[in-house]
Amino acid sequence: MQITRQRFIDINKYVFGGAALLYVNALFDARFIQAALLCIAAVGTYNLLRQKRVKALIRYAPIAAIVFGLTFVINVRYLQPGLIVVCGTALFSLLHIQYFSARPRIAAAVWGVPFAVTLLTYSRPLCATTPTSEWPYILLTLTLCLIPACVFASGTSSEPVPKKPRLKVVKTRIMVQTCVFMLWAWVTAIAFIKGSQVQLLFWGLFNVFTVALFPFFFGRVLCGWLCPNATMQDALLKNLHYTRPIQRIPQAIDEQTHASAMYISGHIDQNAPYMPATLLMAWFPMFFLETIYDLTGKMWYPVAFMYGLMLLSLLLPWRKLCAQFCWLSSYRGLAGHNSLWRLRFNRSKCRQCKRCAAEEACPYYIDIRNQDNEMPVTCCVCFSCMEACPFGDVITFRRAPEERQRVKAF
């Protein structure tokens, strides 16, 4: 089988979809899952009808009906730990599309990790009540591991091997993203299935590090390295090609992420926080909800907090929710306005390409070539721009000597 880029994406996203469905099924009531499936089916039907793909709609309708019918039969608070690793492996593979699709043997070896974890932990499931038979769930988890492993191991790639090696810091970021996502999924599963309040410790430490420590050193690093929704968007939602219900946002809001917004009222705005007003306003209602959660410990808050972000992200283009409306990163971004370490844009080294690969790779749509010295506070320090730029001296972590002299002269 020929492993093309699109086929690689499809296999990983369908396996992730199956694993995510089993995961959500173990956590929530069947009515919640059915409501979510109906929303997804409505968006899918809208896109297929808009593209006039009636045959595709007829083909997918029985599959959707079967999945919806299974929610009435299978709704047991039972979760295999390997299932969380399946979700993490799928996201990890999707974050390495360009490199893994050209090397399917490596991708197959990566899928051996969740298979091994499932075999080692099958006797330690998370469950409120043990089902009559555990083997269907174990075999289903193993099947989700074996399908991509066998396909990639037996297939040959038709994609060229990338000439530029992946930056080590980007590899590290992807590993951290995947591990934090799996940790968040594990903590949430324990809280919903066991009824434990372990998520209080997770969110407490999460807030301490992402509010009180990281912003002052690395700025908005939460949005590039730690946020589960950011991992979902970069790995999965970026590769879902469908017409978003909200394709464009008002220009007055969109332009607030660009450097031009800092010069609206003259030079006095050059030291502005460079944060969209909508991003700051989104925090206030969630602050009150967070206070209620801290006082009551009710489990609905994490659902509204993170799962709400993930569902809303389906409505907008890639990362637009993060850039304009995310209530998780608003005041964290303000705290990082004077962060110690940022990526540097060496203007004197820029070749002024007609098509800037660095700007296209930026998840926050920063107009990099209009920056004068360093990246703004909206930068999440993901290093995607540095990796995408074909010239290694334009975007760096340390300012180039020539750029230092130019800034001094300025």
What are 22-52's pLDDT values in tens digits?
A: 888 777 766 666 777 777 777 777 777 777 7
Pick from 331, 349, 214: which is nearest to 281 by CA? 331
CATH 2.60.40 fits 344-409, yes or no: no
Residues 385/362, Cβ–Cβ less than 8 Å: yes
Give 169-181 pLDDT, tens digit per residue: 999 999 999 999 9
Does residue 103 surpass a pLDDT of 50?
Answer: yes
| Poorest-pLDDT segment among 6-10, 154-158, 261-265 | 261-265
Q: What is the mean pLDDT of the chain?
A: 80
For residue 2, the surrounding DSSP H or E stretch is strand 2-3
Phi and psi dihedrals of 141, rounded to 5?
Answer: -65, -45
Answer yes or no: is pLDDT of 342 > 50: yes
Domain boundaries, the chain: 2-171, 344-409
Calpha distance 56→52 (Å, rounded): 9
User: Quick one: CA torsion of 94, 97, 100, 104, rounded to 10 degrees?
Assistant: 80
- Give 226-237 pLDDT, tens digit per residue: 889 899 999 988
Q: For residue 360, which phi and psi values (nearest 5 degrees)?
A: -70, -30
Question: Any residues with CB less than 8 A from the CB of 72 and at least 6 apart, and which?
Answer: 30
Q: How many CB atoms lie within 10 A of CB 328?
A: 23
Neighbours of 295 (CB within 10 A): 8
Write down the pTM of the prediction.
Answer: 0.85
